[in-house]
Amino acid sequence: MTKYAFLLVFAIIAVLACNGVSATNGMPEVGTVAPAFNLTTNEGKQVSLGDFKGKWVVLYFYPKDFTSGCTLEAHNFQRDLAKYEAANAVILGVSVDTAESHKDFCAKEGLNFKLLSDSDAKVSDQYGSTMEYNGAKLSARNTFIIDPHGKIAKVFEKVKPAGHSDEVLAALASLQKQ
């Protein structure tokens, strides 16, 4: 590697680091065991990933309760909830909001699936799904399909809320045929 090529690579890495982007995103890869977690639900109960062994899990991370994109994404998952249940899948939403905020969000928006509070962002970090916004650490909009054995089956990065539930259902159907 020439001196100039090295300097160019170094400059690119430095720019990415200053913008909060790492050279590796830290997300668990397809085929690996999904990172375990124990979080508080919108119902005030503790749940762990192990509680859903034998089921497909759609673990979606989102930035903030009561915001337009997050509300749209949640509504679409709610709209399709019967389809997920028919596919032996559960929906779990994760953000850094409190369990109380999640409770209020579910009540206001009519959501009947679990939202999990990751107030210290540790689980979001484990899944490579954190971002900074106005100095606050939030969950980044990524989704993971976890198979019934607890392994990552599919990863969706930087999802668009509008058609995401349809995209996840299609991937889930494809995975279940394999």
Query: Hey, how many other C-beta atoms are within 10 angstroms of the C-beta on 21?
Result: 11
Does residue 20 fall inside a structural domain?
Answer: no
Does residue 19 fall inside a structural domain?
Answer: no
Does residue 92 fall inside a structural domain?
Answer: yes
Does residue 18 fall inside a structural domain?
Answer: no
Among the listed residues 25, 43, 24, 28, the one whose alpha carbon sits nearest the alpha carbon of residue 146: 28
Cβ neighbours of residue 71 under 8 Å, at least 6 residues apart?
109
CATH number reported for the structural domain that contains residue 75 in this entry: 3.40.30.10
Q: CA of 141: how far to CAs of 128, 149, 168, in Å?
A: 10, 24, 14
70 annotated active-site: yes
Structural domains of the chain, count: 1
Residue 114's domain comprises: 26-177
Catalytic hit among 39, 57, 59, 70: 70
Q: 34-70, pLDDT tens digit by residue?
A: 999 999 999 999 999 999 999 999 999 999 998 888 9
Query: Which DSSP helix (H) or strand (E) runs through 18?
Result: helix 3-18
| pLDDT for position 10 | 38
Does residue 3 fall inside a structural domain?
Answer: no
Reported confidence tier of residue 8, pLDDT bands at 50, 70, 90:
very low
Q: Indicate the DSSP class of residue 35.
A: P
| pLDDT for position 86 | 97
Reported confidence tier of residue 11, pLDDT bands at 50, 70, 90:
very low
CB 172 within 8 A of CB 145: yes
Q: Three-state SS string across 97-113, please?
A: CCHHHHHHHHHHHCCCC
Does residue 16 fall inside a structural domain?
Answer: no
Does residue 9 fall inside a structural domain?
Answer: no
Does residue 153 fall inside a structural domain?
Answer: yes
